[in-house]
Amino acid sequence: MRDNLAKHSALVLEECDMGPAQPYQWYVEAPPPPSLAHVVASLWEIRIPTSADTRMRILPNACVDIVVYASVTSQGEGNAGVVAPPHRSFVVGSTLRSFIVRSVGCRHVIGASLLPAGVQPLLGVPARLIGERIALLQDIIGSAAGEMEERILSTTDDRALSRMSHALVHLLASRVVQPVIARAVASIRAAGGRKRIDTLAQETNLSTRQLERVFVDHVGLGPKTYSRLVRFDRAARGLGTRGTLPWSQFALGFGYVDQAHLINEFKEFARVSPAQFERELATGRVGPQ
């Protein structure tokens, strides 16, 4: 497994010119059904006009994503490998930096953002072994990848997300979710990334050192870094409705000390300032978060 994952390049890309804006035809994000809510953050689907040559900024979202390309020729800017037929399904590890993907002639992409507690039950390996890589789904779950593709790609209508959901339920059957990680992740997300680590340790009946060790083993990140990513994800989503709210108030509302703190976190994770990201968001050049 380690050798298979090592063959694929890490998704840590250099900043580049985004080029002309090409808005999505539509993007849909849906919550998972109750049976998957403890292991999946969201299901998503995106369509881009066939003729579009589009550059999209993909943000770190504190999740590991399963991505199935119904029809696409796509490549990363910088170090990322080419994503093209015959391979249609991939696993994208939890990244700490945004990266830019160029999609040429993309028609339909379906995805699922897995919570850290769901990575091992659904994929059979902990998130730390995937790291920040992009890997072929078949290299991780074997022949089940082909079965999953067949389930999802058997329809081209609005049932694609439902079929993704059914495929994940099938993968999860008879698998056990690590309860400590599930509780810790749920607590961090419910608090918007503002949960104190000592409080989290008390909630999980672990010492802070034990919590750190268990979290890193299963998630690949420490609880503090994961919390920062969750807070950033909330803030990035919130920018779509900021309106005329002053930046200082916006920052405080998402748990940042001040505007400078917000800017520093965006430059680290998004590689751009909040203001620039907000402009990209308005022109449809930000991919699934």
Per-residue pLDDT for 78 more than 50?
no
> Using 50, 70 and 90 to split pLDDT, how confident is the model at 106?
low
Residue of higher predicted confidence among 6 and 21: 21
Average pLDDT on 79-101 reads 68
Residue of higher predicted confidence among 87 and 280: 280
Residue of higher predicted confidence among 260 and 150: 260
Half-sphere exposure of 279 (CA within 13 A, CB side): 7
> Using 50, 70 and 90 to split pLDDT, how confident is the model at 87?
low
DSSP 129-160: HHTTBEEEHHHHHTTHHHHHHHHHHT--STTH
Per-residue pLDDT for 17 more than 70?
no
Per-residue pLDDT for 25 more than 80?
no
> Using 50, 70 and 90 to split pLDDT, how confident is the model at 26?
low
Average pLDDT on 74-83 reads 44
Per-residue pLDDT for 274 more than 90?
yes
> Using 50, 70 and 90 to split pLDDT, how confident is the model at 91?
very high
Paired residues of 26 in beta bridges:
47
With beta carbons less than 8 A apart as the criterion, state whether 145 and 138 touch. yes
Q: Model pTM?
A: 0.76
> Using 50, 70 and 90 to split pLDDT, how confident is the model at 83?
very low
- From residue 116, give the alpha-carbon distance in Å to each of 60, 96, 267, 287: 13, 14, 24, 21
Q: Which domains does the chain have, with CATH numbers?
A: 2-172 (2.60.120), 179-282 (1.10.10.60)
